[in-house]
Amino acid sequence: MGENDTRRLLEIITRLSYKEGVFKLTSGRQSAFYIDCKQTTLSPEGAYLCGRLLFERIASSGLDIKGVGGMTLGADPLVTAISVVSFIERRPVPAFIIRKEPKGHGTGSWLEGKANIPDGALVALVEDVVTTGGTLIKAIQRTEEEGYRVGQVLTIIDRGEGGGEALSGLGFKLTALFGRDDILDAARSLG
């Protein structure tokens, strides 16, 4: 695993998810490139590799992570892939999904999957692409409001546009599989 998986995932992201042009990002900023990571995370090999590599970061953190979650929709395939890989590795980490709006009936909860995670547990949060960190900051707030402690914050790609710094300012270190330069260099090499 390891280096070969990382290299292969970068190839898949570059082929399936990287686009050049003029794009408006979730943050409202404009960019000359866009990374539609869902094209990778919803492909069989891409999902597996994302799950495998992110699970390795969680498992090697030394933290007692009891769940992995993220904001719907970008994190949905990621948390599922991580959870499935963790089961295969016999170190199960349940997944949870953070809603954009609280449930309008029943418990009114922000989180789906809470029954699998002990109250007050230490959890990891994931996102596919981080620009300003706004989505992860909301995810942290909602997760903490539900009584969990956030121990780790991970992403597939950090665009290097302030998200890591914003999270650091709140006391969270962003762990990224790839940075902006990794993606741009890989795209250039494909020509």
CA distance 124 to 91: 15
Match 């999957």 to its residue by tokens.
Answer: 113
Q: What angle do CA 94, 143, 137 make, to 5 degrees?
A: 120
Indicate left, alpha or beta for 120 from its phi (over 0: left) and psi (-120 to 50: alpha). left
Distances 135 to 16, 106, 150 between C-alpha atoms, Å = 23, 25, 14
Range of the domain at 26: 3-190
Domain count for the chain: 1
The model's pTM:
0.95
* Whether 143 contacts 111, CB under 8 Å: yes
Q: What is the CATH number of the domain that holds 16?
A: 3.40.50.2020
Indicate left, alpha or beta for 160 from its phi (over 0: left) and psi (-120 to 50: alpha). left
What's the confidence (pLDDT) of residue 191? 67
Tens place of pLDDT for every residue, the chain, 191 residues?
A: 578 999 999 999 999 999 999 999 888 889 999 999 999 999 999 999 999 999 999 999 999 999 999 999 999 999 999 999 999 999 999 999 999 988 777 777 899 999 999 999 999 999 999 999 999 999 999 999 999 999 999 999 999 999 999 999 999 999 999 999 999 999 999 86
